[in-house]
Structure 1
Amino acid sequence: MSEEATPPSPFSDPASVAVVGASADPAKWGHWLARGALTGEDRRRVYLVNHRGGSVAGRIPYATLADLPEPPELVVFSVPARVVPEIVDQALELGVRGLVGISGGLEDDYELARRVRAGGARLLGPACLGLFDADTQLELAWGRFEPGALGIVSQSGQVGLELARLAAEAGIGVSRFVSVGRQADVTLEEVVGELVDHASTRVVAIYAESFGDGRELVRTVTRLTEAGKPVVVLTVGESPAARSHTGAPASSLEVVDAACRAAGAVRVRTPAEMIDLARYLLLTVRPRGNRVAIVGDSGGQGAVAADVTARSGLRVTPLPAVLAARIEAGLPDAANAINPVDLAGGGEQDLRSYARVVRELTGSGEVDAVLLTGYFGSYGEDTPMLRETELGVVAEFGFAVHRTGIPVVVHSMSADSDAVRALRDCGVPTYHTVEAAAGALGTAASFAPPCPLPLVWGSAAPVGEGYLAARDLVASAGVRFPAGVAVTDRESLLAAAERLKPPYALKADFVAHKEDTGGVELELKDAMSAVWSLEDMIHRLGAGTYVLEEMDTRQGTVEIIIGARRDPSFGPLVVVGAGGTDAELQRDTTIELGPVDTERALTMLRRLRCYPLLDGWRGRAPLDVKALAETVAAVSSVLAGCAAVAEIELNPVRVGADGVLAVDAQLTRAGEERT
């Protein structure tokens, strides 16, 4: 490979820009593109192109790109789809390095992208809403942007603009905005990667409907989180109707959550939640844990806040008696500091009570965050003589956060008072609803360090069909199965029965859903019972290979399901959950990107609702969780190492105090559909 440095992206700080389709009509894209491009004219040369002539923003546009005094470095076009190929050809002939395609409805986006790449250029879009970069005064998009610290990368242009507008309403400016559109050439992952070294970007918001090379995106997002730039992801898929409007396959929300965990990012559900969280991340530190103290001057608001906070995954637990007594000192007799802390009118009597209580809590070592709820922020607005006192309390909050590193979040009944603005200025996130405040705090507390994503290898060695092939493949990685022998008729079964201990299980090797099709018989007490079952199965299912196995007769076992499959974007996944015949009904599963090691598998198991059954529920002996985690890791490594396998499922895996036995296995080969 060449040792030469990669040239800077033409989409970051081009020396010259041409707007093709520039328009004087404010209702047209060409107007906004021309207007935005001219805001950076003191940094770069800007050319407007419109074959109809006239005047645009006080300029006479050029008729074609060929008429420009120099080849522009970047061309943005908003023209009818039928003339796009001609515009692109003109640009490539001039040596243009970058094109931004606002236009949509093209016959073949990817053929256009191929031509652009062959011409030595790159294409953003088509069908995108443009880009904005505060650092370089590059504005080629609809709307107006206030400079700030939030980077927005969106597959949907409209969602991206909604995020930018919500951010502006929340007092958050945008550092860089990129709408990637169809991603025919430049991908979302590439654009996100450019934010790692983008000077003014401190928080990154990503809206994606499909993820392309998801594992590479995970590595890119990991670089952002390791650089101290939190990443917030918004996607769709909870509703069957919420399909990718680009037509690209979408990954399930569980898979996206697993990818976020691997990268140290978090997922939110709505644009409003995304901006609420961005406001928090841009103003203050993330909680070190999930213990929250709630403070209010109204018992009702405190109780509502406690419920909302608990639903956000945070813990509102009673404060130690000594701390509660210190807080209650000086408050009205009706005050209660158990948690929530109810000032019971103490805030009205003396606003400085808020400051004292917050100081006590942030300095106690007993909480990871403080949520203030109710009227604070409105005192000075409604009673001007209290304005200065309230602002003084605000300063105390800021000092407490700075001194202790314990974040304070405020839900205020005022949306935009002097105190509310002062709170934000001193690093205290403020929200007009308690659910927004608690939601942002809860999501901020859910950030975790990224987990290094292992490289995925993959042998192309072929694999067989049926239960025996699945069993042998997984057993080669150390997974234990009951002793078993392949049989085809009465004689081979009788010979096998002499080598195995009853009771027996008899399974049809070539049947996938054995219980649904009568392809399995259990609790066969002797050889003749097994013979009769074999003859019945052959009559019903046909001749073929069957498997005679010893039964797992251990008592007190728990049934678990372990699976591994390939996601179109994120590659190997591993799934573990409550197993047995009711697995689909219980829906108690968790997913991680694979392969996983034993420690990661243990983390997965602890997330399950059924985990207490493995860990000594109601005085029972703990089961061999370590062996189960090793089995999960082994299954994940088998799939990652065998490109010929699309999916593996072990169900049930029976976990006892003395180890783990997988008693059924099924695999789907690459290119086959699961039956």
Structure 2
Amino acid sequence: MIFSDPASVAVVGASDDPAKWGHWLARGALDGHERRTVHLVNRGGGAVLGRPTVRSLSELDEAPELVVLAVPAAHVPAVVDEALAVGVRGFVGIPAGIDEAVVGRIREAGARLLGPNCLGVFDAATSLHLAWGRFQAGSLGVVSQSGQVGLEIAGLAASTGIGVSRFVSVGNQADVTAAEALRDLVSHDLTTVVGVYLESFGPGIVAAMSDLRAAGKPVVLLTVGSSLAAQEAARTHTGALTSSLDVVDAACRRAGAVRVTTPAALVDLASVLTSGVPGGSRVGVISDSGGQGAIAADLAVAAGLAVPPLSAVDGLPAGASVRNPIDLAGTGEQDLANYARAVEVLARGGEIDTVVLSGYFGSYGEDAPSLEAAEVTVATRICSLARETGVPVLVHSMRADSAAVRVLRAGGVPVQHTIERAMAALGNAHRLTRHTAAAVPRATTTTAYRPGYLAARDLLDFVRFPRAHAVTSAADVTGTPLTGPFALKADWLAHKSEHGGVRLDLTDPAAAFDEMRARLGPGTYVLEEMDGRDHTVELIIGAQRDHSFGPVVLVGAGGVHAELLRDTAVELAPVTPATARNMLARLISAPLLSGARGAPPVDVAALAEVIAQISETLAARPDLAEIELNPVRVGPDGVLAVDALIIPSSEVNDTSGQRVA
């Protein structure tokens, strides 16, 4: 409870100067003086905001539970040492540049630090306001690595009427982490939706977001793509094909969260989610303008939603269309109650999951004041219909603010000033209904890692490979029991084609061996039968151990052009075969798997099983950093991998995720 409802707080550096942090923090702390004891500390003494101050914490009769450090970083060590000496157990570190040694002393004393380099903390439930700025109480929990981005989110939340339940600026996360701040929101009664801004991801983020989703509190994540989530790896295609945001999105799917790209999009989605997660993708559109209804319908489809035709519509005024979108065709302005009637028809009809009212509604009372009372009455009825039916209603109004708009927002009906923001938010809300489940790990191979292609084949004994054997001399080649045409490979090379370490379609492998050995030197080479099956599709299957989120698995268009095509799908590992099939369905090249231009469909079930087992192997083997099969040739009769690469964890730098040269 130190950072949510302390019994007493002290602001060190309290000031009467409105331009200083100490002024804002002192004023905010005094907002909660009826709930807790508030001490103001100013080394010059005197009064701040009309309240007496002390010159140091040691002058207090008892230790405050939480101390806000609103002094320059150079003064922080002395303040912290004094605070620890009197028994303080919590600190909010506003300034940047607090030395790690100071953080260490706080930890050693069993105390906690929020920050440093943070904007502070706010909790509407406990009247705790230890942050720069003003906050409107509401239902959105905000956890932000950037104080100013968090403050922007809070301001936007106030403007849309949803407000903030708790605000935690974690700053540099020297002690208290974003994951901890998120877990604290699970039991926070005022919080119904959580918005998160992070630039880096530490352990526990996925679990914390999952716990919030399980508690009925959906999470909206904003990030800038600069995290360590998936550093590009030079030695495998898998690393080159995976971006940081690919892995962040996979983490969101696993946790049941949604990633957005701007603070406004975060708040737009949060405002929709406060009215309830849509039960499906079917949208019913109502407008008093055919053009606006058509635009809304197009944007809905672009956002991944459906605008289904309606089977039977009764109760609309004469002259209104009965299609979807419904065009009131001027009957809305003839009788404003027709807007509510149309909403009721759709909400009670059982054919749609969300109602979107788009256009002029919300503007009547502003443009014609004599209509304001009637418009407010209709707005009140629309709010009641949303509550009674359980069908979310979303309004796009040409008026950014009006009496009717304020009534809608106060009644739990989100209002957007542009239809594109409204539909984008609704599409993002629908994405929350689609997330992947983690696999139940099965027994995986315990074969010890050895370098080379042949060793990788042995370790991945659940994968089918072509018949092959090692060759180290021309005699091994000429005496082969294999059937041509052949492939010849340098066993030890990672990217064989880039170094001339692979030759294909050989009928005279002995000559090719002599040439390759003369160029690359002695070593183990692999003679392998070529896969001559018809109607095969080449893919890549890869798994790597991500610095922030752990094991991830990738599938995509494969072969030598994998990095050029960049047609991939990524999930956190391990995955189930069902999730693997979903990954395959997301590929642009997915139609090739079901048969194209008369070709038979390939064995997708077997392919999904291999993807799942690769993901499980990496997840269960901390000694392995990466596994890659490329290309994987899948045909109607099953899966055949014709190259494999395994990289052990010992070859990866533990702190950066990069290869050790």
Please report the TM-score for the alignment, with normalisation by the length of structure 1. 0.90
Select between 433-442 and 353-362 the one with higher mean Cα deviation: 353-362
**Deviation at 1:103?**
1.5
**Deviation at 1:349?**
3.0
- Corresponding residue for 2:209? 221
The one-letter code sitting in structure 2 at the alignment partner of 1:568 is H
Distance change >3 Å, CA 36–CA 460, structure 1 → 2: farther
Please point out which of 271, 275, 280 is paired with 1:279.
271
- For residue 661 of structure 1, give the secondary structure of its aligned residue in structure 2: strand
8 Å contact 1:462–1:644 — kept in the other structure? no
The answer on 1:314 being equivalent to 2:296 is no
Gaps of 5+ in 1: 1-8, 244-249
The answer on 1:494 being equivalent to 2:478 is yes
Please point out which of 618, 628, 638 is paired with 2:617.
638
The one-letter code sitting in structure 1 at the alignment partner of 2:12 is V
**Deviation at 1:374?**
0.9
The one-letter code sitting in structure 1 at the alignment partner of 2:484 is P
**Deviation at 1:625?**
0.8
8 Å contact 1:377–1:412 — kept in the other structure? yes
Please point out which of 176, 181, 185 is paired with 1:191.
181
The answer on 1:662 being equivalent to 2:644 is no
Gaps of 5+ in 2: 232-241, 653-658
Find the aligned partners of 2:215 and 2:261 in 1 and give their Cα distance: 25
Find the aligned partners of 1:166 and 1:206 in 2 and give their Cα distance: 14
Find the aligned partners of 1:80 and 1:389 in 2 and give their Cα distance: 57
**Runs ≥4 residues deviating over 4 A:** 449-462
**Deviation at 1:222?**
1.1
Find the aligned partners of 1:582 and 1:341 in 2 and give their Cα distance: 48
Find the aligned partners of 2:171 and 2:533 in 1 and give their Cα distance: 57
Please point out which of 431, 445, 449 is paired with 1:463.
449
Find the aligned partners of 1:460 and 1:114 in 2 and give their Cα distance: 40
Distance change >3 Å, CA 226–CA 80, structure 1 → 2: same
Distance change >3 Å, CA 365–CA 615, structure 1 → 2: farther
8 Å contact 1:628–1:655 — kept in the other structure? yes
Find the aligned partners of 2:102 and 2:437 in 1 and give their Cα distance: 37
Find the aligned partners of 1:345 and 1:592 in 2 and give their Cα distance: 49
8 Å contact 1:460–1:643 — kept in the other structure? no
8 Å contact 1:668–1:674 — kept in the other structure? no
- Corresponding residue for 2:222? 234
How does 1:79-118 map onto structure 2 within 5 Å? 79-106=71-98, 108-109=99-100, 111-118=101-108
**Deviation sequence 1:502-560 (CA, Å, 0-9, x none):** 221111112221122221111123xxx11111111112211111111111111111111
Find the aligned partners of 2:596 and 2:334 in 1 and give their Cα distance: 51
**Deviation at 1:382?**
1.8
Find the aligned partners of 2:15 and 2:638 in 1 and give their Cα distance: 73
**Deviation at 1:239?**
11
- Corresponding residue for 1:135? 125
Find the aligned partners of 1:449 and 1:651 in 2 and give their Cα distance: 29
How does 1:147-546 map onto structure 2 within 5 Å? 147-213=137-203, 216-237=204-225, 252-282=244-274, 284-317=275-308, 319-320=309-310, 322-323=311-312, 326=314, 330-332=317-319, 336-448=321-433, 451=436, 453=438, 463-475=449-461, 478-495=462-479, 497-498=480-481, 500-525=482-507, 529-546=508-525
Find the aligned partners of 1:598 and 1:21 in 2 and give their Cα distance: 58
Find the aligned partners of 1:397 and 1:14 in 2 and give their Cα distance: 41
- Corresponding residue for 1:246? none
Find the aligned partners of 2:78 and 2:20 in 1 and give their Cα distance: 21
Find the aligned partners of 2:187 and 2:435 in 1 and give their Cα distance: 19
Distance change >3 Å, CA 460–CA 659, structure 1 → 2: closer
8 Å contact 1:76–1:99 — kept in the other structure? yes
- Corresponding residue for 2:578? 599
Select between 174-183 and 300-309 the one with higher mean Cα deviation: 300-309
**Deviation at 1:133?**
1.1
Please point out which of 40, 56, 62 is paired with 2:48.
56
- For residue 260 of structure 1, give the secondary structure of its aligned residue in structure 2: helix
- Corresponding residue for 1:247? none
8 Å contact 2:65–2:89 — kept in the other structure? yes
Distance change >3 Å, CA 523–CA 562, structure 1 → 2: same
8 Å contact 1:266–1:447 — kept in the other structure? yes
- Corresponding residue for 2:235? none
Distance change >3 Å, CA 169–CA 403, structure 1 → 2: closer
Distance change >3 Å, CA 419–CA 33, structure 1 → 2: same
Select between 293-302 and 632-641 the one with higher mean Cα deviation: 293-302
- For residue 276 of structure 2, give the secondary structure of its aligned residue in structure 1: coil
Distance change >3 Å, CA 23–CA 462, structure 1 → 2: farther
Distance change >3 Å, CA 238–CA 219, structure 1 → 2: closer
**Deviation at 1:276?**
0.9
Find the aligned partners of 2:411 and 2:152 in 1 and give their Cα distance: 27
Find the aligned partners of 1:85 and 1:376 in 2 and give their Cα distance: 58
Find the aligned partners of 1:455 and 1:153 in 2 and give their Cα distance: 31
**Deviation at 1:15?**
1.4
Find the aligned partners of 2:354 and 2:594 in 1 and give their Cα distance: 31
The one-letter code sitting in structure 2 at the alignment partner of 1:479 is V
**Deviation at 1:441?**
0.8
Distance change >3 Å, CA 67–CA 450, structure 1 → 2: farther
Distance change >3 Å, CA 38–CA 440, structure 1 → 2: same
The one-letter code sitting in structure 1 at the alignment partner of 2:146 is S
**Deviation at 1:300?**
2.2
The percentage of counterpart residues that share the same residue type is 56
Please report the TM-score for the alignment, with normalisation by the length of structure 2. 0.92
Find the aligned partners of 1:239 and 1:129 in 2 and give their Cα distance: 21
- Corresponding residue for 1:3? none
**Deviation at 1:450?**
5.8
